[in-house]
Structure 1
Amino acid sequence: MTEAALRPRRSVLYMPGANERALEKAKGLAADALILDLEDAVAPDAKAQARERVCAAVGSGEYGSRELTIRVNGIDTQWHAEDVRAAAQAGPHAVVVPKINSAAEVHAVERLLEQAGAPDHTAIWAMVETPVAILHAEEIARASQRLTVLVMGTNDLAKELHAEHVPGRAPLLTGLSLCLLAARAAGKVILDGVYNDVKDLAGFEAECLQGKEFGFDGKTLIHPGQLEPCNRLFAPSPEEVDRSRRIIAAFEEATARGDGVVTVDGRMIEVLHVDNARRVLALADAVASLA
């Protein structure tokens, strides 16, 4: 696993860039990553001040081990170029770009970052949230080595599809699946979209479990109250860790004996199961290191 893929991103919390109290509160939250938002959460007349505040937060060194990212305004807005240039100078872990629709747009963001002197560690996270983006997801995912993460924008996608937000997300499953395929084909991380009803923790937990079962690396969040269940559900469970250890041990013992057939709990084990078990243990160790 690459370093980018191994880093835990179970919980990725949006924080409004114009809200100084929210940015201060974020320093003590148990989020694996923060998206300091200059887009939807900021009114037009507050964009410039929010940009300064967010870049200062990134440079403060007061957010511990959390991964810090800045969501800039979209390519088609008057604020985009200045947002990207300012973010490049601040040097966050990543710049999150909304409504990326093509590889050409990824290349444009990359050029702007490099022209502004962005450090090598500042990655691009591309938000996939339109039908056009879904249909070009693999092209987007493969566009650049600097692009490391796809972020599902499920609210905008539902709007574009004229779809309803319903339990189980049936109207969005095709898009989610296509983006997961694209991310895995390109070796990139992918984050699930937000859950809007912050008071419905049962529904939120169900959607976290669905996302984990699909294969998402984590979930974007809109409220701190969603952090604990998200961190818990997207981390390997004690049962998964125990089974993974037993799979590896059984396979290594069988290999040493020259046995061609290995079973654990009555199920046949192959190399692919061992690889997955090692991934689970690596992620569990990475999560433990955050504590």
Structure 2
Amino acid sequence: MHFPLRPRRSMLYMPGANARALEKARMLPADSLILDMEDAVAPDAKAQAREQIVTAVNEGGYGKREIIVRVNGLDTAWGKDDLYAIAKLPIDGILLPKIDNLQQINDSIDQLNAAGASEQLPIWIMAETAACMLNIASIATHPRLAGIVMGTSDLAKEIRAKHTADRIGMLVPLSLCVLAARANGLEILDGVYLNLDDEAGFCVACEQGRNMGFDGKTLIHPKQVDIANQIFSPSGAEINHAQEVIHAWEEARQASKGVVVVNGKLVENLHYEESQRILALAGAIKERHGQTI
């Protein structure tokens, strides 16, 4: 399936059991919201979270923010009811947790189909288990998949990796998932940063994620949104360079020149295509924020 380009620099988890958080989310500058029925919700509040998310989505008011609902897995007592409750909601995607293989995705889609969900409803997965890392190349080929969200907290616990500033224990799984996403035209979001009082560390983590190829960062608090938006946006210098590359490339093609040089560096078709992507993303960000969100 083809999904339109949209900015996903910041993807903020909002606990479904917290009605105030669901209301506040309507005013936050996050590109995407994950309305959560799973990890952010205590077992005795699952039904309440489901009901409040359904009510909040139906009431609307989220503007151009992307709305994704994270459900509980089908291997829990709540998963099937979650899928049935949200199957027909006006949302932008469903996020499936703890996916280890393709069959789990198909089982969830079967439940959604039985509940009357549109076949165009995008499916997202959490990549947060060791089995998922070993199977991500095949998982990412699913035709309904729109994107991957890294669940680095659960993954670190399972593989017994330490949370270090350089994330050395996570670099292999993170890179595997980026490769799988890019090979299949999927979006991919980096995992959360847990220390809310460490702004400098959060900036470093965002920059590392961007340098690794992630489209944005998943967040656990509104105070993280502005930083993620800034770091995952094309800079003014990047936009200017992209414009120069496109102009020089197109001018050279019209003149039938075989070599293109911009600022002393050789430019090839791959640079031209990446420059187009950068400008398209910058345009999508500008269009989104040019109106009330």
TM-score in terms of structure 1 length: 0.97
- Could you tell me whether the CA contact under 8 Å between 1:56 and 1:90 is conserved in 2? no
Tell me if 1:139 matches 2:138: yes
In the TM superposition, 1:46-125 aligns within 5 A as 46-125=45-124
Q: Identity, % of aligned pairs?
A: 51
Distance of 1:51 and 1:89 partners within structure 2: 14
Aligned-partner SS, 1:96 = strand
State the shift of 1:121 in Å. Answer: 4.1
CA RMSD of aligned residues (A): 1.2
- Could you tell me whether the CA contact under 8 Å between 1:91 and 1:122 is conserved in 2? no
Tell me if 1:215 matches 2:213: yes
Deviation per CA, 1:184-227, whole angstroms, max 9, x where unpaired? 11111111000000111111111111111111111100000000
Q: Name 1:22's counterpart in structure 2.
A: 21
Q: Name 1:286's counterpart in structure 2.
A: 284
State the shift of 1:119 in Å. Answer: 2.4
State the shift of 1:3 in Å. Answer: 3.6
Q: Name 1:44's counterpart in structure 2.
A: 43
Mind listing any 5+ residue stretches in structure 1 that lack a counterpart? none
Q: Name 1:266's counterpart in structure 2.
A: 264
Aligned-partner SS, 2:67 = strand
State the shift of 1:114 in Å. Answer: 1.2
Distance of 1:119 and 1:83 partners within structure 2: 16
The code of the aligned residue for 2:283 comes to: D
- Could you tell me whether the CA contact under 8 Å between 2:10 and 2:30 is conserved in 1? yes
TM-score in terms of structure 2 length: 0.96
Cα distance change on mapping 1:39 and 1:94 into 2, 3 Å:
same
Distance of 1:104 and 1:31 partners within structure 2: 32
Deviation per CA, 1:134-184, whole angstroms, max 9, x where unpaired? 0111211112x2210111000011001111000111100000011111111
Equivalent of residue 157 in structure 1, options 150, 155, 159: 155
Tell me if 1:241 matches 2:248: no
Equivalent of residue 175 in structure 2, options 174, 177, 183: 177
Q: After TM superposition, where is structure 1 displaced by more than 6 Å over at least 4 residues in a row?
A: none
Aligned-partner SS, 1:260 = coil
Aligned-partner SS, 1:90 = coil
Q: Name 1:31's counterpart in structure 2.
A: 30
Deviation per CA, 1:228-252, whole angstroms, max 9, x where unpaired? 0100110111110000000000111
Aligned-partner SS, 1:81 = helix
Q: Name 2:125's counterpart in structure 1.
A: 126
The code of the aligned residue for 1:204 comes to: F
Deviation per CA, 1:257-286, whole angstroms, max 9, x where unpaired? 121111111100000100000000000000
Cα distance change on mapping 1:147 and 1:2 into 2, 3 Å:
closer
Mind listing any 5+ residue stretches in structure 2 that lack a counterpart? none
The code of the aligned residue for 1:202 comes to: A
The code of the aligned residue for 1:168 comes to: D
